[in-house]
A and B are shown apart, each in its own frame.
Chain A
Amino acid sequence: DAGVTQTPRHEVAEKGQTIILKCEPVSGHNDLFWYRQTKIQGLELLSYFRSKSLMEDGGAFKDRFKAEMLNSSFSTLKIQPTEPKDSAVYLCASRSGTDYEQYFGPGTRLTVL
C-alpha cells in the first residue's frame, strides 16, 4: 500500500500570498492530522479529522490556517495570507482509527519571503 503522500515537497511564497498544501492519507485510514514542524517549537498540531469531521484544531492557528477534507482520501491545508513566520515543514499523518500508530508523509517545506 502507498504511504501518506504530500505535495508539493517544497513551496516558496511571497508574503501575503495564498498557498495550498495537499495530502493523500493511507488508503482506508479514517483519521488525518496536519502538523507544523519548526526547530524552535517542534511539532505542533494544526488540525485533526476523523471520518472527515474536524475533531481538534490548534487554537493558535485558526485565523490564517484552514484545513479541509474534501473526501476520505484527500485533504488540503490553506494558508492565507502567508507570513514569513509560517516558514516551516508541514507534515500530514494518517491513522486507521483502530490502531495508535500515525503514519507520516514526507512533509512540505514552506519558505515565505
Chain B
Amino acid sequence: GDSVTQTEGQVTVSESKSLIINCTYSATSIGYPNLFWYVRYPGEGLQLLLKVITAGQKGSSRGFEATYNKEATSFHLQKASVQESDSAVYYCALSDMGGRALIFGTGTTVSVSP
C-alpha cells in the first residue's frame, strides 16, 4: 500500500545548527505522488510548510528546503541554521494528482535549544 516513513520521535538540535528530517515514501497505487511537509507549532493548528508536485524539483519555505527525489523515493526536510521558533512537530505527507486525502508520516518533534 501507500505509506510514508519519517524520522521517528523527537529530535533535539542546538540553535544555529543544521537539521534534517528524513522522509521516504511508498506509492504503489499512486502514479505521480505529490509530496508535502506540514508543521504544527505549539498552540497552533496543522499548517502547510511546503509542497512539491513534480519529481526533481525543490520546495522551500521559512528557510526549509525539500527535494522530491523519485529514484530514492525520498523527500527529506532540511534547514541550514535552525532557530528556537522552529520548535514544532513536522509531518511528511503524500497525495495523488487527483487530490485525494493525504497520507501522513507519524510526525517528528523538533526541539531547538538556545
Contact = CB atoms under 8 A, between A and B. Distances in A.
B62 interface: no
Interface residues of A, number: 26
A100 B106 contact: no
Contacts of A41: 106
Nearest to A91: B46
Contact of B51 (A3, A31, A97, A101): A101
B63 interface: no
Nearest to A58: B101
A42 B100 contact: no
A34 to B, nearest CB: 9
Given A56-B100, A104-B47, A105-B45, A42 B95 contact: no
Contacts of B101: 33, 35, 45, 48, 56
Contacts, number: 49
Name the prevailing secondary structure of the A interface residues.
Answer: strand
Nearest to A4: B45
A104 B106 contact: no
Interface of A: 3-4, 31, 33, 35, 40-45, 48, 55-56, 91, 93, 95, 97, 100-107
Interface of B: 34, 36, 38, 45-48, 51, 53, 91, 95, 99-107
Given A33-B101, A100-B53, A102-B48, 11 more contacts: A3-B45, A31-B99, A41-B106, A44-B104, A45-B103, A48-B100, A55-B100, A97-B99, A100-B99, A104-B38, A104-B47
